[in-house]
Structure 1
Amino acid sequence: MEDCAKISQGKRKDLLFHVIHKVPCGDSPYVRAKHVQLVDKDPEAAIVWFWKAINAGDRVDSALKDMAVVMKQQDRAEEAIEAIKSFRNRCSKHAQESLDNVLIDLYKKCGRLEEQIELLKRKLRMIYQGEAFNGKATKTARSHGKKFQVTVQQETSRVLGNLGWVYTQQANYVAAEVVYRKAQMIDPDANKACNLSLCLIRQGRFNEAQSILEDVRHGRLPGSDDPKSINRANELLVELELQQLTTPPHPSCISLDGLDLHIDGHIPFRARRLPIFEEISQFLDQMAC
C-alpha cells in the first residue's frame, strides 16, 4: 500500500509539473522540444527538437508554429518564414489560419510590407467567401492567457485595421483612409480612429481629423477610456495644430457612398459577405486584387 501511495504521489507531482510549466506529457520529439523551450529555457536546442518533431510527423501543426515563434524571438524571422512556406503543406487545414497569423507577425518583424498586404487581403477574401473561422460565426481567441470569443465582424475590422496600418507605413494615406473608414463602419474603436485621423492630417484635412480626435477625447468611441488612446489623441491634436500653421487645408474628401456592407445581425452567417475588394477598387486601382 505504501508503494502504491508513493507511486500515486509521484504521478500527482508529475502532473502538477506539466500543468505549471505548460509542458505536454510524454517523451516524443515535440514534448522534448516544449520541455527544452519552457523548462530548460534553451531556445536554440528547442528549435532543433521542433525540427525533429516536424520530420517525424509529431504534432506538426503545433511544432511548426511554435518553432517559428521561437525563431522570431531569436532574430531568425526570415528563416522562420521560409520554414512555414516549406512545411505548411504538412499541416492540417485547421492550422492554416493560425500559420497565416504567425506569418503576418514575421513579415512585420522583417519590414516586408508588400507580403503583409498580400496576406491580409487573402484573409479578407476568406471572410468574403465565408471561409473564415472554419465556417463558424465566432472563434475562440487567446490573449495574455485568457480566452475570449471573436465575431466575424470584429475579425474583419481587425484585419482591415492592420491593412490600413501597412498602407500608412507606405505613406499611402488615401488607401489607408478608405480601409480605416470601412473598419470603423464595421466595429469602431478609438485606436483605429486615431490612425484614421493621422491619415487625414497627412492629407491636410485638418477639420475632419480634429472632429475624429475630439470623439476620442470625449469618450464617444469604444476604447476611448484607454489612457493610451487618450494620450495618442492629444499628441495627434498637437501635431495637427503644428501642421495647420504650415500646410493649407485639403478641400476634397473621399465619398464612401456605395460602400455597401453585407454584415449585420439579421441575415444567415453564410450570407455575410464583405465585398471589400470590389468596393474599394472603385476608388483605388492599387488596392484591386
Structure 2
Amino acid sequence: MEKKVESFHVIHKVPAGDSPYVRAKHFQLVEKDHEAAILWFWKAINSGDRVDSALKDMAVVMKQQDRPEEAIEAIRSFRSRCSKQAQESLDNLLIDLYKKCGQIDDQINLLKQKLRAIYQGEAFHGKMTKTARSHGKKFQVSVKQETARILGNLGWAYMQQQNYEAAEVVYRKAQLVEPDANKACNLGLCLVRKGRLEDARRVLEDVVHRRFAGLGSEEGHKTVSRAEELMREVEELERTNGASPPESDMLSLEEEMIIERLDLVMNEWAPFRSRRLPIFEEISPFRDQMAC
C-alpha cells in the first residue's frame, strides 16, 4: 500500500501529506479543478504553509485562468511573506504577467530593476551561475546569459511602445553581451520600423547565412525563416519606397537623450565600483556601438 501511495505522488508530482498546500496541488494537478486549487493556495498562504511555493503556484494557475491582474495583486500583497530566495522567481512571474496584461511600463521598470541587481552583483545571490528549471529539467544559467535575456525582453518591451530608438540601443547591447539569432531578428525588425532598410538587411543576412550558433535546431530553422520573411519585407519596401537614405554619423536628438539617460542609469547602478561584475566591463559604451 505504501508503494502505491509513493507511486501516486511520483506520477502526479504531488507532495505527500494533507496540508493546505498539498491539497491545493492535488486540485491543481490531479483533479484539474483550478478554482479549488486557488482557494487552497490562499489557505496555504494564510496559514504559513510553504508560502513561497503556494504564492508562485497560485499566480501560475491564475495566469492560466486568464486572471493575470489578480495574480499581480496577489504577488504584490504577499511577497513580503516569502523568503529572499523566492523574490527573483516572483519578479520573473511578474514580468510575464505584466506582459500578458499589457502593462509595459511596469514590465520595463522591473526589467531595469533586475539589470540593476545584476550590475551591482546582487543577482544569483552573488554567484556567477544559478540552477534553473524548465519542463522538469534542471540547467545552469550564467550571469552573462541572464543579462542578455533581460536585455532582449527590455528591447521587445520598447518595441511594443514603438520606442524604436531605445529598442535599438538595448538590442545592440544585448548582442554585445551574447550574440543571438532571435535578438538579431528583433533588431532587424526594429531597423525596418525605423526605415533603415540597408542596416536591417545587413543584420538579417547574418541570420539567413547562419552566422549564429544553434541555427541547425528546429527552433533555429524557425528563426531563419523569420529572418527570410523580414528580408522579403525589406525588399518590398525598397521597391515601394526606394533605397533607404544613407545613415549619418550624427545621432538624432532623441537618440542622444536616450543614450544619455541610459548611461546615467548605468552610472547610478554601480555606486561601489568594486562590486561591478566583469560582464559589464566587456560591453562597449552605447555611443560607440550606435556609431558602428
Q: Give the TM-score range, shorter chain.
A: 0.7 to 0.9
Please state whether the residue corresponding to 1:274 is helix, strand or coil. helix
Shift of residue 168, structure 1, vs aligned partner: 0.7
TM-score when scaled to structure 2?
Answer: 0.84
Give yes or no for the alignment of 1:101 onto 2:96. Answer: no
Q: Secondary structure at the residue paired with 2:138?
A: strand
Q: 1:49 matched to which residue of 2?
A: 40
Unaligned runs of 5+ in 2: 267-273
Give the alignment of 1:130-145 within 5 angstroms: 130-145=121-136
RMSD across aligned positions (CA) = 2.5
Deviations 1:43-68 (A, max 9, x none): 00000000000000000000000000
Q: Which residue of 2 aligns with 1:205?
A: 196
- Write the distance in 2 (CA, Å) between the matches of 1:47 and 1:129: 36
Consecutive unaligned residues of structure 1, counting only runs of 5 or more, are: 1-9, 262-267, 285-289
The residue aligned with 1:229 is 223
Q: Tell which deviates more after alignment, 222-231 or 66-75.
A: 222-231
Among residues 196, 199, 207, which one is paired with 1:216 in the alignment? 207
2:107 is paired with a residue whose SS is helix
Match of 1:249 in 2: 244
Q: Does 1:129 align with 2:125?
A: no
Q: Is the 8 A contact 1:217 1:224 kept in 2?
A: no
**Quick check: 1:176–1:199 contact (8 Å CA) kept in 2?**
yes
Q: Name 2:61's counterpart in structure 1.
A: 70
C-alpha displacement of 1:275: 8.2
Q: Is the CA contact 2:177–2:279 (under 8 Å) kept in the aligned structure 1?
A: no
2:175–2:183 Cα contact (<8 Å) kept: yes
SS of the equivalent of 2:131 reads: strand
Q: Which structure is higher in helix share?
A: 2
Q: Could you say if the C-alpha distance between residues 124 and 244 of structure 1 is closer, same or farther in structure 2, counting changes exceeding 3 Å? A: same
For the residues of structure 1 that align with 2:197 and 2:173, how far apart are their CA atoms? 20
Tell me which residue corresponds to 2:140.
Answer: 149
Contact 2:168 2:190 in 1 (8 A): yes
Tell me: higher relative CO, structure 1 or 2? Use CA pairs within 8 A at least 6 residues apart: 2
Deviation string 1:51-105 (CA, Å, 9 cap, x unpaired) is: 0000000000000000001011111110110010000000000000000000011
Change in CA separation of 1:154 and 1:269 when aligned onto 2, cut-off 3 Å? farther
TM-score between both structures, scaled by the size of structure 1: 0.85
Q: CA deviation at 1:169?
A: 1.0
**Cα deviation, residue 224, structure 1:** 2.7
User: Equivalent residue for 2:155?
Assistant: 164
Give me the whole-angstrom Cα distance separating, in 1, the residues matched to 2:288 and 2:210: 33
Instruction: Report if the CA contact (8 A) 2:172-2:289 is conserved.
Output: no
For residues 125 and 20 of structure 1, what CA distance do their matches in structure 2 show?
A: 41
The answer to whether residue 3 in structure 2 is matched with residue 12 in structure 1 is yes
- Residue aligning to 2:278: 272
How many positions carry a matched residue from both structures?
264
Q: How much does 1:245 deviate?
A: 2.6
State how far apart, in whole Å, the 2-side matches of 1:281 and 1:39 are: 55
In structure 2, C-alpha distance between the alignment counterparts of 1:206 and 1:71, rounded to whole Å: 42
- Identity of aligned pairs, percent? 66
Following superposition, the deviation at residue 252 of structure 1 comes to 3.1
Matched AA of 2:18 = D
1:146/1:122 CA distance change after superposition, 3 Å:
same
Q: Which residue of 1 aligns with 2:271?
A: none
2:211 aligns to what SS in structure 1? coil
C-alpha separation between the residues in 1 aligned to 2:281 and 2:5? Answer: 52
Moved more, 111-120 or 237-246: 237-246
Deviation track 1:150-176 (CA, whole Å, cap 9, x = no partner) reads 100000000000000010111111110
